[in-house]
């Protein structure tokens, strides 16, 4: 069994989705569950976590409605404004919805590298301790110093790092990213998605061997109990097919025991997202 912990749905809007630049023009269209369902059937994917791609409460409603209609969507990672005075009300509202598994903010898009450490944001995050909600961390690797300080502040909060924190795979940089990931991984409440790598490599020339040194760092740092599989569909399509992404994950899992492979592909996801 396989659970895909990271994919997106959207009805394309050039303003709302302005992060889809000219290099990514291939995905400037709608992507909905009816597009993904046959891909999952072909590859034996049992279910997924749908992740927000827009900073609005409307996005939550959109994804929750899809999840209620398509049972292969096992939950969503939505968004709320953790800096808002309404944060407690929003957390209370969504905590009544079993399909809302957690939240994230596109911190990689913030020019302030200390965004995660600003007091209003920290105050909002602190309120999650009364829930079972996951907080997902989406950053570029140069933002990892703030991530390290951030996770130290909330030892009881379940965190998941998206896309192995986006190291500079295309450029071949690994050492400073690896040091910080190892430091962050010492906090046992932090897990990591092995996802989003092919779009950090060269879109046209990447090979699995280019990715393996980074995956090996994550395995060594987090261990098989705190890693999960994610495709990052449809974003991944700018650099490769779903089959290619899954093949990378399967090649990696070849170095794991059967029990560890089950943890990576679905058991860790079941635990983290309460599926």
pLDDT at position 38: 97
Report the pLDDT value the prediction gives residue 21, as an integer from 0 to 100: 87
Domain ranges of the chain: 3-272
Which CATH number is 3-272 given? 3.20.20.140
Alpha-carbon gap, residue 275 to 273, rounded angstroms: 5
> What is the per-residue pLDDT for 57?
96
Q: Is it true that the peptide bond before 90 is cis, omega within 30 degrees of 0? A: no
Return d(Cα 34, Cα 56) in angstroms, integer.
Answer: 23
Is residue 51 within 8 A of residue 74, CB to CB? The reply is: no
SS3 content of the chain, % helix, strand, coil (to 5): 50, 15, 35
Split the chain (275 residues) into runs of 10 and give each run's mean pLDDT: 97 87 88 97 97 95 97 98 96 96 95 93 94 96 97 97 97 96 98 97 95 98 98 97 98 96 98 96
Give the pLDDT confidence score for residue 112 in this predicted structure.
87
Task: Sheet containing 159-161: give its strands across.
Answer: 3-7, 47-51, 73-78, 100-105, 134-137, 159-161, 190-194, 227-229
């Amino acid at each position: 069994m396989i659970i895909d912990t990271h994919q997106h749905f959207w009805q394309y809007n050039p303003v709302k989705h302005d992060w889809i630049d000219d290099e990514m023009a291939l995905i400037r269209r709608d992507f909905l569950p009816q597009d993904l369902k046959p891909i999952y059937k072909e590859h034996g994917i049992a279910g997924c976590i749908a992740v927000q791609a827009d900073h609005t409460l409307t996005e939550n409603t959109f994804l929750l409605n899809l999840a209620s209609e398509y049972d292969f969507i096992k939950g969503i990672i939505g968004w709320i404004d953790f800096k808002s005075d309404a944060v407690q009300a929003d957390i209370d509202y969504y905590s009544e919805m079993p399909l809302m598994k957690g939240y994230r903010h596109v911190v990689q898009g913030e020019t302030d590298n200390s965004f995660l450490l600003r007091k209003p944001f920290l105050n909002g995050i602190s309120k999650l301790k009364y829930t079972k909600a996951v907080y997902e961390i989406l950053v570029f690797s140069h933002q990892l110093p703030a991530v390290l300080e951030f996770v130290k502040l909330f030892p009881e909060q379940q965190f998941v790092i998206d896309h192995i924190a986006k190291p500079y795979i295309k450029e071949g940089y690994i050492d400073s990213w690896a040091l910080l990931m190892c430091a962050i991984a010492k906090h046992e409440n932090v897990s990591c998605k092995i996802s989003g790598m092919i779009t950090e490599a060269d879109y046209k020339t990447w090979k699995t061997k280019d990715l393996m040194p980074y995956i090996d760092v994550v395995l060594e740092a987090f261990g098989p109990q705190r890693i999960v599989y994610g495709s990052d569909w449809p974003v991944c399509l700018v650099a490769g097919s779903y089959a290619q992404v899954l093949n990378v994950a399967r090649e990696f899992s070849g170095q794991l025991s059967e029990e560890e492979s089950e943890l990576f592909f679905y058991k860790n996801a079941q635990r983290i997202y309460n599926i």
